[in-house]
Amino acid sequence: MTTLPGASAGSAVPRDAEPCLEQIFQLVREREGIDLRAYRRGTVERRATQRLHKLGCSDYRGYARRMAEDEAEAHHLLAHITIKVSRFFRDADVFGHLRDAVLPDLVRQIGADGELRVWSAGCGNGEEPYSMAVFLADMSREGWPIPAATIWGTDIDEEALAVATRGLYPEGALAETSPELIAAYWARRPGRLGSQYELSDDIRRRVVFARHDLLSGTGLPAGPRSPAIPCHLVLCRNVLIYFQRHAQEQVLQLLTHSLAPGGYLCLGEAEQLTKAQAGHYETIDRRAGLYRRTREGLSGGSTGVVS
Ligand SMILES: C[S@@+](CC[C@H](N)C(=O)[O-])C[C@H]1O[C@@H](n2cnc3c(N)ncnc32)[C@H](O)[C@@H]1O
């Protein structure tokens, strides 16, 4: 596991953190519907301490009181804990595998008349599911017989989902995108604070965004959660890192449940399967965190994707 961005920043955690955290967790649960007890305690304490100092509170008791009085603070704390830093095609190695191996394999197996289902869980501002949509559009331009595709992007953060739906990004989000792809799928929008890049309507239409809490399992569009219509590719990168071990296991169970036998799970470079879940997968590339779900009862080998 790598360290979360910004984890070392901030001052020492005040001594009264422990007794007050329960109260803070309850307020976040009531107002945001998210259970911070499942998140890594060290990260939560560091981020809460940073908020506490920013608001000029001297201790946790003061911060808990401030949160009780200020409706918006639970939201600010949650947003500060789950920082949404991403880029299109972030981690070239991972996206190389997805473009050169995973998508061609799925497209061949599903066939032009089938339906390809992709779920980006914890999608932040949408760069990850849109990257997959761009790959599929580009394969289609190259003459691949692409099946109809449904790509879901889900997250707990409504503001991130609004950014994703709008499809307008700062230049930095495209730092790992080739000029050819930018020219084909984005339009530059010059502005006073620098240029922004707007995704084409065709790409935006390919992704469905929805609020979903991976820890509670509620609110997901029918596709990924329903065992009757499992996904062929599930991406969940830089998300498990926020959770305690038992919560990681719970989320991985959900992802495994959402995948068709022979479908792919992409956890990226920062995360790995737990021992308990590893038995359901063969490893495609450990560094890229790429796994393929086996048929239950089989120990590995080639398995067809159920579409
Ligand atoms: C660092 S971003 C990762 C974005 C993208 N997957 C990537 O790697 O580029 C982590 C995302 O996980 C989301 N997240 C945190 N807790 C979550 C939960 N319980 N359910 C769903 N998403 C969650 C955050 O809101 C944030 O958008």
* Annotated domain spans of the chain: 17-81, 92-293
**Rg value, the chain, Cα:** 20
**Domain 92-293, CATH:** 3.40.50.150
Task: Specify the residue with its C-alpha closest to ligand 1, atom 24.
Answer: 82
pLDDT at 11: 60
pLDDT at 18: 73
CA 208 to centroid of ligand 1, rounded, Å: 16
Per-residue pLDDT in tens (0 to 9) along the chain, 307 residues: 444 444 444 466 666 777 789 999 999 999 999 999 999 999 999 999 999 999 999 889 999 999 999 999 999 999 999 988 899 999 999 999 999 999 999 999 999 999 999 999 999 999 999 999 999 999 999 999 999 999 999 999 999 999 999 999 999 999 999 999 999 999 999 988 889 999 999 999 999 999 899 998 654 555 555 555 789 999 999 999 999 999 999 999 999 988 999 999 999 999 999 999 999 999 999 999 999 999 764 333 344 555 4
pLDDT at 228: 59
183 conformational bin, left if phi > 0, alpha if psi -120 to 50, beta if neither? alpha
Ligand 1 atom, smallest distance to 213 CA: 20
pTM (two decimals): 0.90
Say yes or no: CB of residue 84 within 6 Å of ligand 1. Answer: yes
The first and second tokens of residue 66, run together, are 């401030």
Task: Specify the residue with its C-alpha closest to ligand 1, atom 13.
Answer: 122
Say yes or no: CB of residue 124 within 6 Å of ligand 1. Answer: yes
**Domain 17-81, CATH:** 1.10.155
Strands 290-293, 281-285: pairing is antiparallel
Burial degree of 182 (CB within 10 A; 0-12, 13-18, 19+): middle
pLDDT at 6: 41
Strands 259-266, 115-121: pairing is unpaired
CA 302 to centroid of ligand 1, rounded, Å: 31
SS3 for 173? helix
Ligand 1 atom, smallest distance to 34 CA: 19
Ligand 1 atom, smallest distance to 38 CA: 19
**Neighbouring C-alpha atoms within 13 Å toward the C-beta of 41:** 7
CA 214 to centroid of ligand 1, rounded, Å: 9
CA 84 to centroid of ligand 1, rounded, Å: 7
